[in-house]
Amino acid sequence: MSPEASPLTPHLTRGQNLVTLQSHILAEEARYPGASGTFSWILSALSISAKIISSKVRRARLEDVLGAAGSDNIQGESQQKLDVIANEVLMRCLGGREGVAIVASEENDEPTLLRDGKEGERRYCVLFDPLDGSSNLDVCGGVGTIFSILRHDRRAKNAEQSLMQRGSEQVAAGYILYGSSTVCVLTTGNGVDMFVLDPSIGAFLLVGSKLQIPRASKNYSCNEGNRKSFPEGYQRYLDWAQSNGYSSRYAGAMVADVHRILLKGGVFLYPPTAKAPEGKLRLMYEANPMALLIEQAGGKAFAGQQRLLDVDPRGIHQRTSVILGSPDEVDQVLRHL
């Protein structure tokens, strides 16, 4: 059977080869003759974690792991059972990789120093939101994992100080969307690639390379339930957008909303509010990795009037406002602020 006729493979043109996430990582590694393979092993651990979490998400109701876990995270938010499970999966998969110096999770109070490394060894820090949008699980909505990878600074006094790097210093970032299919979107600073998990063979297959976000699209995504407490500039923008035929699309999970905008275009907004004057999204776990992905795909990402990737972090759980998406649409928002 030819590749284009097979129901188990993505749609391919004649002569196009199947590429798995693992082989893609190895091909990228080969571009750097001095590479040790450490970074590739970390991406492999994230891939394994995604497969496990995807299975847990799909069987959540059958295994009775929906609903609250009965505890709060460091932000004071009620943890869902699958928040805890996904967090544990990532911690254990990454913990076994020699190249990981520090892991930091949105769900944990403090980062965990696993190994500091010797002189000359290159190690990395991995930050993640284990299950973004977990409240969507009860209604079978889209949820996801967001991750960011930084180089470990051995000169830092402690684990948290090693993480205090601007988003522009990220060496890789990505997300896994657990929806109608399980999608992994990844950048290592050389464009954005997209993979889809084929459960029949247990591998992520490349379905899109060097993705480019549309320059413009009349769509915006934000929680308009908070509109009355948005700053005036954001309210002016929404008035303008609604007067000019824009459509609203909001899934309630950053991964699902940003994935749509990456593919279809538009702008994602999470403005400051009266309750969260600095914004609500986490700079290190959500905003920075998404900003890197969007910029690598030709888009723009801002915190108010400042480029998101230039924000100096003050703490690992720092919050921020977010404007990201198609370059022309982000510019439209900025004009109204």
Which helix (H) or strand (E) segment holds residue 319: the answer is strand 319-320
* 297-333 pLDDT tens trace: 999 999 999 999 999 999 999 999 999 999 999 999 9
Q: Which residue stretches of the chain are H helix? A: 21-30, 38-58, 81-95, 159-163, 232-243, 254-264, 288-296, 327-336
d(CA 110, CA 74): 9
Total Cβ atoms within 10 A of residue 248: 13
Numbered ranges of CATH 3.30.540.10 in the chain: 3-208
Token representation of residue 223: 């929680």
Rounded to two decimals, the pTM is: 0.91
Return the closest-CA partner of residue 266 out of 314, 222, 303, 319.
222
- Label residue 2 by pLDDT band (50, 70, 90): very low
Average pLDDT over residues 22-48: 84
Average the pLDDT over each of 102-111, 209-218, 280-289 and give the range with the smallest value.
102-111
Q: Name the amino acid, one letter, at 254.
A: M
pLDDT of 138 strictly over 80: yes
**Which CATH architecture does the domain made up of 219-336 adopt?**
3-Layer(aba) Sandwich (3.40)
Amino acid, res. 32: Y
CA dist., res. 30 & res. 145, Å (int):
27
Q: What is the pLDDT of residues 154-166, one digit of tens each?
A: 888 888 999 999 9
For domain 3-208, the CATH architecture is: 2-Layer Sandwich (3.30)
Query: What is the Rg, in whole angstroms, of the alpha carbon atoms belonging to the chain?
Result: 20
- Is residue 7 pLDDT above 90, yes or no? no
Report the C-alpha gap between 174 and 162 in whole angstroms.
Answer: 20
The per-residue pLDDT of the chain, averaged, comes to 89
CA distance 318 to 282: 6
Q: Quick one: pLDDT at residue 78?
A: 62
CA separation for the pair 210, 187 (Å, rounded): 9
Q: Where in the chain is the domain with CATH 3.40.190.80?
A: 219-336
From 9-13, 294-298, 324-328, 331-335, the region with the lowest mean pLDDT? 9-13
